[in-house]
Amino acid sequence: MSTSPTTNEREEGLAFQPKFDSSGLVTCVATDAATGDVLMVAHMNDEALRKTIESGEAWYFSRSRNALWRKGETSGHTQRVVEMRLDCDQDAVWIRVEQTGAACHTGRHSCFYRKIDAADGDTRLSFVDADKQFDPTKVYSK
Amino acid sequence: MSTSPTTNEREEGLAFQPKFDSSGLVTCVATDAATGDVLMVAHMNDEALRKTIESGEAWYFSRSRNALWRKGETSGHTQRVVEMRLDCDQDAVWIRVEQTGAACHTGRHSCFYRKIDAADGDTRLSFVDADKQFDPTKVYSK
């Protein structure tokens, strides 16, 4: 990218100057444009950001596979971007999307299908909105 | 923490086994419980997670200051946690909060006050919901 902008330029300016971390990534939060639910949290590198902006479909960078990844390329569960926003320090992106099928690789609509509850000093999870919309063993079997 | 769980245990189980990155952090997305808007993206370490769960108020870990941080401790703009969820691989947390005042240190309700627009191959930002609710030079002057 170009020379590093000042904090004020990055926060108050209208130039798109994403602040990538040491791995070349920004964090991306995808929410359901219809319900506001958080669907997933993932990462984008420079190329994923550019492809998302150009195509209007969500692209990410998989840290575990070390590869660019078009959301839904295997499952067909793509994300059409309705609006894309950037945070104050330009290191996080929020996309509001129309989700085809389910966002989570486990088959659920959202990756956030468990609630954290504290009771008597013990922290436990409980399922919420956890119905599977597809069988991941079938969708990812290829 | 305890011994590392299998992927299946982490994804389908009800044990709280957060997966911290090499810096000991998970990503946290805070949304406005009333509107669904994403307010901010930040990080929590083990202690911030625990304090958030115990107190029902959002605590974070600041990477730039390398310090635990109760949201609103300087500004008074605290976040009361209405619901707390964990994602499939337990490395991201979503909290739905009641935000007192503004979430962003620039004085805006949300950190995501700029939209990304692509036009004629050029990517630009534009302000949206960018009114300042407080003057950061006054609130953080101490």
pLDDT of residue A119: 80
pLDDT of residue B114: 98
Tell me the whole-structure pTM to 2 decimals: 0.94
pLDDT digits (tens, 9 = 90+) for B51-91: 999 999 999 999 999 999 999 999 999 999 999 999 999 99
* Residue B21 in this model has a pLDDT that exceeds 90: yes
CA nearest neighbour of B115 among A52, A31, A53, A86: A86
Taking CA–CA distances from A56, the nearest residue in chain B reads B118
* Residue A105 in this model has a pLDDT that exceeds 80: yes
A119 touching B, CB under 8 A?
Answer: no
Residues of B in contact with A51 (CB under 8 A): none
pLDDT of residue B67: 97
Which of the pair, B75 or A81, is modelled with greater confidence? A81
Tell me what percent of the residues of chain B surpass a pLDDT of 90: 86
> Are residues B114 and A85, on separate chains, in Cβ contact within 8 Å?
yes
> Are residues A29 and B41, on separate chains, in Cβ contact within 8 Å?
yes
Do the beta carbons of residue B89 and residue B25 sit within 8 Å?
Answer: no
Q: Would you place residue A1 in the very low, low, confident or very high pLDDT band (cuts 50, 70, 90)?
A: very low
Tell me what percent of the residues of chain A surpass a pLDDT of 90: 86
pLDDT of residue B138: 87
Do the beta carbons of residue B109 and residue B103 sit within 8 Å?
Answer: yes
B130 touching A, CB under 8 A?
Answer: no
Which of the pair, B138 or B67, is modelled with greater confidence? B67
CB atoms within 10 A of CB B110: 24
pLDDT of residue B142: 52
What does the mean pLDDT of chain B come to? 94
* Residue B141 in this model has a pLDDT that exceeds 90: no
Task: Spell out where chain B has E strands.
Answer: 26-32, 38-44, 59-62, 67-70, 79-86, 92-99, 114-119, 122-127
pLDDT of residue B139: 85
Do the beta carbons of residue A123 and residue B51 sit within 8 Å?
Answer: no
Mean pLDDT, rounded, for A27-41 = 97
Distance CA A121, CA A139 (A): 40
pLDDT of residue B126: 97
> Are residues B105 and A84, on separate chains, in Cβ contact within 8 Å?
no
Distance CA B80, CA B57 (A): 5
Do the beta carbons of residue A97 and residue A33 sit within 8 Å?
Answer: yes
A34 touching B, CB under 8 A?
Answer: no
Domains for chain B: give ranges and CATH numbers.
Answer: 22-133 (3.10.20.810)
* Residue B40 in this model has a pLDDT that exceeds 80: yes
The CA–CA distances, whole Å, from A56 to A62, A70, B8 equal: 19, 11, 33
Distance CA B110, CA B114 (A): 10
Whether the predicted interface score ipTM is above 0.90 = yes
